[in-house]
Amino acid sequence: MSMIKKTKRYKEIKKKWGDKKWWKGRYRHRILVHILHNNGTYVLDEKWDNLVILDACRYDIFKEVNILEGKLEYRTSRGSSTEEFLIENFRKHPRYSNFRDIVYITANPYVNLLLSDKFNKIYPIWDYGWDDSLNTVPPGSVVKETLKAHKKHSDKRLIVHFMQPHSPFLGAKFAHVTGFREHRNAALKNRDQFGDSTVWNLLEKGELDRQEVWLAYKENLEIVLPYVKKLIVMLPGRTVVTSDHGNLFGERPHILYPFKEFGHPDGLYVRRLVLVPWLIVDRKKEKGTEKRKIRSKIDKLKNSGKI
């Protein structure tokens, strides 16, 4: 190593000496990466017509509160964060480079920030379906836009990306939590720098109670599941309900990892972050009369104001 590099590294260590977040990142990306490898499943290698993504949904909690009928399995995600999940599955896929047979409906702005040119069409609900009072996109907006997209692109596969159970939580409210507001503002200005205050920051600082956050996260999942159920009833073919990654609540996630972790940092391929639900629901492809019946049900729900 050259003297210039040694001096630069010394200055960086001196500057960051008391920054626990920096040390965690160094450990993950310099040491743990050689021990824990990314052996996740490419979602495009699986069979589905509609892929429903629940953001930051742990398999164990999904299994506990699930109300959806279907065959529940699990998969290993290719990322421990949304950015990593999207890049690994859609930028770094070993065989495919674009996905013109897919329409992506998303409450998460990272899809547009990272993959704006990859799909047949992206519906950025994080932009026009945003609720300022909630600091996030409510699940009803995702259902509404998905049914519109299906009607317009009935020959395409759909990826539907809900924001829940990811914070901010629709039930419990925590002071000083901005949720995805700054993420959204950054995406609107086409930049990737943001400064949201999250429950994970506050939990790590000891300003929130772990059990209270745990219950709020669980409730957020319970809130979104009926909306997912509504979609499953309306969408034809094979629907898979999964997640981009899991979430940590201050656990020390691996025997070789000397830190407690919160949220979902990238590059951390531990069970609670990469083990995700894979719920399979098979329905017949809509044809003729059946197709008209489904469209009629959609119209009735719209007219009644339920979607």
Residue 148 has pLDDT above 90, yes or no: yes
How confident is the model over 275-297, as pLDDT tens digits? 999 999 998 755 433 554 555 56
Answer yes or no: is 63 within a domain.
Answer: yes
Please report, for residues 79, 166, 167, the alpha-carbon distance to residue 176 in angstroms, rounded to integers and kept in the order given. 28, 16, 13
Cα 242 to Cα 186: distance, rounded to the nearest angstrom: 27
Residue 9 has pLDDT above 80, yes or no: no
Answer yes or no: is 153 within a domain.
Answer: yes
Answer yes or no: is 166 within a domain.
Answer: yes
Answer yes or no: is 211 within a domain.
Answer: yes
Q: Is 19 exposed, middle or buried (0-12, 13-18, 19+ CB in 10 A)?
A: exposed
246: left (phi over 0), alpha (psi -120 to 50) or beta: beta
Answer yes or no: is 56 within a domain.
Answer: yes
Range 116-133 average pLDDT: 94
Range 248-266 average pLDDT: 87
Structural domain count, the chain:
1
pTM given for the model? 0.83
pLDDT number for residue 300: 54
What average pLDDT is seen over the chain? 84
- The amino acid sitting at 128 is Y
How confident is the model over 200-222, as pLDDT tens digits? 888 888 889 999 999 999 999 99
Cα 18 to Cα 59: distance, rounded to the nearest angstrom: 34
For the stretch 40-64, what's the b/e string if a residue is b when 16 or more beta carbons lie within 10 angstroms of its beta carbon?
bbbbeeeebbbbbbbbbbbbebbee
Answer yes or no: is 26 within a domain.
Answer: no
Domain that holds residue 297: 31-304
Q: Is residue 264 within 8 Å of 30, Cβ to Cβ?
A: no
Cα 253 to Cα 27: distance, rounded to the nearest angstrom: 13
Answer yes or no: is 16 within a domain.
Answer: no
Greater confidence (32 vs 243) lies with 243
Answer yes or no: is 8 within a domain.
Answer: no
- The CATH number of whichever domain residue 184 belongs to comes to 3.40.720
Task: Express as a percent the part of the chain with pLDDT over 90.
Answer: 57
Range 39-57 average pLDDT: 97
